[in-house]
Amino acid sequence: MTDPSNHLPENLKTLRAKHGWSLTQCASETGVSKAMLGQIERGESSPTIATLWKIAGGFNISLSSLLSENNAPKPEEVLTFRDAASLRKPIGADGMLTATLFPFDPKSGFEFFELTFPPEYERVSVSHKPGVTEYISVLKGRLGIQVDGEWQELGEGQSLKFLADRPHSYRNQEARDAVVHCLIHYPATGF
């Protein structure tokens, strides 16, 4: 796979054209300003992960569909930890690294990421579409996840499943990276 930021400007232009949306209508549907959308399309901006989720939600597509070059699922695919390391890319300027291990597949209804949260990192995530569920497994470090105002602190080898169709937050209060696997499952009525 290649750098997802290389595909974002073209993917956004293609999505807008497919929907017949002007920048103004796209801004209305996604909640992202017209100026920011224009900057993304011209490759002049590196949007935050929150902005990317808003865009994906506005188009009713998965995050990996917005970022990937080709989402055609392969019947079998083996990835190694070395592969994941080569896929890690910063998305936005907040320091979180994302590796799309398996992009969204409509047959399975999920996408699978490796996320690296840098030390002293905190982020509030936008609510996903109704019925979306996240599964987080901590591979390295510790990660706090807040859902419904309650923080769950996870250590290495621990996992959490939660409904992601409401505001939720992530924090790494440690002095080292927290690395997790994140599976996002979309309901059958989703994309």
Which of residues 14 and 90 earns the better pLDDT score? 14
User: What are the φ and ψ backbone dihedral angles of 160, each rounded to 5 degrees?
Assistant: -140, 135
Strand, coil or helix: 118: coil
Strand, coil or helix: 135: strand
Beta strand 110-117 with 178-185 is: antiparallel
Quick one: which of 139, 136, 141, 123 has its CA closest to 163?
136
- pLDDT at position 63 is 82
């105002």: which residue's tokens? 149
DSSP code string of 8-58: HHHHHHHHHHHHT--HHHHHHHHS--HHHHHHHHTT-----HHHHHHHHHH
Sheet holding 178-185, edge to edge: 89-90, 97-105, 110-117, 178-185, 133-140, 159-163
- pLDDT at position 156 is 97
Amino acid at 151: W
**Mean residue pLDDT across the chain:** 84
Q: Average pLDDT in the 9-18 region?
A: 88
- pLDDT at position 8 is 86
Report pLDDT digits (tens) over 95-143: 888 888 888 888 889 999 999 999 999 998 888 889 999 999 999 999 9
- pLDDT at position 103 is 85
- Residues 175/121, Cβ–Cβ less than 8 Å: no
Report pLDDT digits (tens) over 30-69: 999 999 999 999 988 888 877 888 898 888 888 887 877 6
């169709």: which residue's tokens? 165
Res. 2: pLDDT tops 80: no
Ordered by where they begin, the domains of the chain are 4-67 (1.10.260.40), 81-185 (2.60.120.10)
Residues 6+ apart with CB under 8 A from 46: 5, 90, 91, 92, 93
- Residues 94/82, Cβ–Cβ less than 8 Å: no
